[in-house]
Amino acid sequence: MKPGVRRVLIVLFAGGLVMQSALATSRFRNLSVDRVLDNATGLVWQTSPMEDKISYQSASQYCESLRVDDIGDWRLPGIKELASIIDERSYNPAAYHYFRTQPHFYWSATRNAADEKYVWLVNFSDSHIHSFRRDSLFHVRCVSDTSDH
């Protein structure tokens, strides 16, 4: 490869990384140490999820009773909402840096239509989506629809 072509490719690649980083920066806004607003969806995310692994029912109850910065109105995210914070450029964890995410499975509120005993989860180690039984134990991250907190 000619030196000039290599230089152009390196500049294009580096420029693309800077642009992607800038897009992520404009997409998210820290509301506090514990909450971040996703400007693309209008959702407010809990930045520090519970560290313990819990069942689906416990995860749902945890989110419903959660108070962050003295604000309630939290819930389990749907699978599409949870997948929206996957950063395809990252691995282990595959999440934007705004979220203190462990490279593990996280519950969604979306049940598997083929078997109601199963729920969809995101594996933030590799960004894959899986279905597991509701009585399994996994991590939870809560979301709120209210962006005017």
pLDDT in tens, 63-72: 999 999 988 9
Strand order of the β-sheet with 35-38 is 28-30, 35-38, 44-46, 143-144
**For position 130, what pLDDT does the model report?**
93
Model pLDDT for residues 31-61, shown as the tens digit of each residue: 988 999 999 999 999 988 888 999 999 999 9
Residue ranges and CATH numbers for the domains of the chain are 30-144 (3.10.100.10)
SS3 labels along 6-56: HHHHHHHHHHHHHHHHHHHHHHEEECCCCEEEECCCCCEEECCCEEEEECH
**For position 134, what pLDDT does the model report?**
97
- 2 or 149: which carries more pLDDT confidence? 2
pLDDT band of residue 14 (cuts 50, 70, 90) is: very low
Q: For the chain, what is the mean pLDDT? A: 81
**For position 114, what pLDDT does the model report?**
97
For residue 86, pLDDT over 60 is answered with yes
Structure tokens at 41: 């969806």
The arithmetic mean of pLDDT across residues 118-138, rounded, is 91
For residue 124, pLDDT over 90 is answered with no
Structure tokens at 29: 């806004």
The arithmetic mean of pLDDT across residues 97-115, rounded, is 84
**For position 74, what pLDDT does the model report?**
96
What pTM, to 2 d.p., does this model score? 0.76
The CB-side HSE value for 53 (13 A sphere, CA atoms) comes to: 10
